[in-house]
Amino acid sequence: MCVHDKLQDIRFPVPEEIRSIAAQLEEYVRTLIRERKEEEEALQREEALRLQKAREERQKRVQAFYRCLIEKGLLDEDDAKQLSSGSLNCPLCSAHQESCRACKVISCSNRDCKASSAIPIMKCRIHSSKGYCTSCLESPPAAGVLPLMGQCPICTLWFCSEELSWCIGRPDLNEGTSVIEPLSSPTTCGSGLVTRLHPTRPVSCISAACEVVSHRARRRCCNASCWSAPSMITLSVCPDCPTEDSFSCPCDRYWTCGSCESQSSSTTRLITCPRCHQSFCPLCEYILHCKLCGRVGLCYDCMEEAESIDVEHTHHDVDNIFIKCRDCEGLFCEACADHAERFRCESDALVMRGHF
């Protein structure tokens, strides 16, 4: 055994005192190289088997494609025997074949070809590489999962589920169930006793034109525990799902569908005019209420009516004098105005005393 000094390009025998160690090192390196080579060869064999299996599976799908065309009278059986099962083109128009992303069934990419109509594959308007056959689209999705794609009911184009706004259907309460619990997923309920008004269906796509048309056709319930409010931003409430208990604030910024929470049960979070008993959301500017104690004054309509008949107070127990903070623009009743500085409202900023 020799040592090759490549710097000086000289060779000399291994010293006797390290010869055994050098022999062990040589054996270790040779074993390591041999094992790595065997691993690479095994990986190459596995890859070759995988590719061979993929080719065989594709050939089977191509043959199934040909059989479908034969059964529909679009391809002669004798002509099909002359076709290669490894072809990547349509036998009718020579366009490229395309396949369903889920079941891998093959069809023609040419929309004008009869083969494309025989085995329809719907493609996303935005992501052209994503396409699914009608059989896969008609299959019910797994629990907690939106459909693979959907057709916008307004423009009739197909989109991926992420590009659509969906309604999962209002839950119907069965006997023995009195409360609709918030859902952990769009198609399941914690109790397992809930059926739905309709299956999951698209309401609108995200295109600007359809968004404008569907502005009133789809709404988002402001109740955080609504059945339409799991952790998914694509869920809305379609026109069929709201009930008679639905509530819409005059400011048009707060709306509840009624099927998850009736107007009467949500009064604790709403503000009610003491004169006309109209309800308003806490952020509505059409009614006066104190930022600290929550005392409620009259709504704007009642104030205008009171002014028109020259009545200062329609009800003796209604104090409609509020003070507006110049900094936070919050309203305070006279009782709370003196203590507003404790809530980061400086006393010299309290101005605009009077009827609002």
Of the listed ranges 94-103, 191-200, 271-280, the least confidently predicted one is 191-200
Which has more pLDDT, 115 or 15?
115
Q: What integer is the mean pLDDT of 208-213?
A: 81
pLDDT digits (tens, 9 = 90+) for 49-91: 999 999 999 999 999 999 999 999 999 989 888 898 888 999 9
At 49 the pLDDT is 96
At 176 the pLDDT is 44
- Tell me phi and psi for residue 42, to 5 degrees: -65, -40
**Whole-number average pLDDT of the chain:** 80
Q: What integer is the mean pLDDT of 86-112?
A: 93
At 270 the pLDDT is 83
pLDDT digits (tens, 9 = 90+) for 244-253: 888 888 888 8
pLDDT band, very low/low/confident/very high, at 195 (cuts 50, 70, 90): confident
pLDDT digits (tens, 9 = 90+) for 117-127: 999 999 999 99
At 156 the pLDDT is 93
Torsion 295-301-305-307 (CA) sign: positive
Which has more pLDDT, 33 or 188?
33
Residues contacting residue 196 through CB under 8 Å, at least 6 positions apart: 168, 169, 170, 171, 172
Asked if pLDDT for residue 288 goes beyond 90, the answer is no
Identify the top-confidence range among 50-54, 141-145, 237-241, 318-322. 50-54
Euclidean distance between CA atoms 93 and 101, whole angstroms: 22
Cross-strand partners of 237? 219
Reported as type and span, the H/E element at residue 137 is: helix 134-138
Which has more pLDDT, 193 or 70?
70
pLDDT digits (tens, 9 = 90+) for 142-189: 777 889 999 999 999 999 998 998 888 888 765 444 444 444 444 444
pLDDT band, very low/low/confident/very high, at 298 (cuts 50, 70, 90): confident
Q: What integer is the mean pLDDT of 37-50?
A: 95
Of the listed ranges 137-141, 234-238, 275-279, 350-354, the least confidently predicted one is 350-354
Tokens read off for 102? 């889920």
Asked if pLDDT for residue 334 goes beyond 80, the answer is no
- pLDDT > 70: percent of the chain: 80
pLDDT band, very low/low/confident/very high, at 318 (cuts 50, 70, 90): low
Dihedral angle at the C-alpha atoms of 148, 230, 216, 251, nearest 10 degrees? -160
Residues contacting residue 83 through CB under 8 Å, at least 6 positions apart: 66, 91
At 192 the pLDDT is 45
